[in-house]
């Protein structure tokens, strides 16, 4: 839905919950009051998804892919 884009659905980020979208803009409260948004590149988003935490592509090794 639209919660990740502009927080219109009933499932925005909870206070303290983090997200790593690849969108090109953000402002405080955009994805939910108190949520933490880290704008990232597609490469960082992929590494983050694979490792389950904010990560850089360099954090991936042959063992994790």
Angle at 12 between CA 6 and CA 57, to 5 degrees: 85
Structure tokens at 6: 């502009």
- Does 22 score more than 80 pLDDT? yes
For the residues 37-56, what does the mean pLDDT come to?
93
Q: Are strands 36-37 and 18-19 parallel, antiparallel or unpaired?
A: parallel
Is this prediction's pTM over 0.85?
no
């Amino acid at each position: 839905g639209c919660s990740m884009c502009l927080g219109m659905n009933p499932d925005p980020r909870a206070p303290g919950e983090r997200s790593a979208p690849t969108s090109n803009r953000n402002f405080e409260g955009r994805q939910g009051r108190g949520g933490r948004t880290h704008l990232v590149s597609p490469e960082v988003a992929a590494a983050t998804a694979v490792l389950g935490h904010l990560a850089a592509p360099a954090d991936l090794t042959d063992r994790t892919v």
